[in-house]
Homo-oligomer: A and B are copies of this chain.
Amino acid sequence: MPTPKLSSSMFIGMSGKDIISFGSGQPDLPPPKRVFKAFSRFKNFKYGLIQGNLNLREALAEKYPKSTSDNFVVTNGASEALDLTLRVISKIGGKAKNKVLLSRPYYYTYPYLVKFAGMEPVYTDSIKGRINFDDFKKKIKDCKAVIINSPSNPTGRVESIDTLKKIEKLTSDLGIYVLSDEVYKDLIYVRENYFIKGPHVITVDSFSKTYDMCGLRIGYLWSLDRELINKITDMKAHTSMNTNILAQEMAYEATKTPRSFIDKQLKIWEERRDFIYNGLSDMGLDLWKPEGAFYVLPKIKNSEDFVWNMFKKYKVITYPGEWFGVKDRVRFSYALDIDKIKEGLERVKKHLKSIKVG
């Protein structure tokens, strides 16, 4: 059977006996127990504030510099935060320069969201999974916005603070919007997160990865640009209204979780990172060592065939590099327990051997 055109909706949410999924980027770990406290508070379900529940926004404001609850919009996950921001930005300052710079490999949703918003993606190819600042500098000049994603899905790499500071200065000087997708900011193995600052910075974050709450779709955006915040809120009043109020109460509880919860989980992620990195390296695959998030992106030729065969013959889900803008790589999420990673790697090994022999 030839490899069909692969699409993410083939795999997302899929589970079953014997399936090993390195596919979807979602933690298998449990959320903090205290999020369930929110259940007892709920009897009725009236609309909430479009911008988000006040208690949640106030709790978030404590974690951001120079901020009040007015600097936030709570959204249906980071996805809606990005979508709304791009849709609003596309209408600011006319249609000229309606380009958005993306570092390639990119999170596969970015080019779609840019195009859905009526804008055009422009690409800068990363070097070993990190931004090539010289190329970035040239291409950003024609753009209205850029999406930065550090730690990166799919590369697992973290940008150097030096690069981030140079990006801050350049975009601030040029008046370019920076969408900083920091959903993996609490899953960094190599240093503290560096929070990008600037008058036109929109930081996007979510409770999905840090607190294992993907299915509740609870995220938010932050910006010092209050006018932009208001425009985004006005649009959301039409496109989806308030974000689920119960999920917001659960997210509020999550903000009260002690840091030790995150530290404990980070240790687990790091063990898995080491395990899969070593396992794939030992098979002779060329890959970058992940510094954050929970993805590896080894070089594998004919990646679509690899993904399809692994799925049909070995019940192993992986995502083809094509989705992320690179042809000869495959993304493995290691958000599953070591035993499953081990079993999955065995199957990969078997397949790779069979190709070589064949």
Contact = CB atoms under 8 A, between A and B. Distances in A.
A239 B45 contact: no
B47 A12 contact: yes
Contacts of A212: 44-45
B13 A48 contact: yes
A240 B76 contact: yes
B216 A113 contact: no
A43 B7 CA distance: 29
A105 interface: no
B217 A79 contact: no
Interface in A46-104: 46-51, 76-77, 79-80, 83, 87
A234 B50 contact: no
Interface stretch (A192-200, A244-252, A262-270, A301-309): A244-252
Interface residues of A, number: 53
A9 B76 CA distance: 18
A50 B12 contact: yes
A238 B45 contact: no
A295 to B, nearest CB: 16
A25 to B, nearest CB: 9
Given A83-B239, A217-B243, 8 more contacts: A9-B234, A12-B49, A13-B48, A44-B212, A79-B239, A80-B240, A215-B244, A244-B244
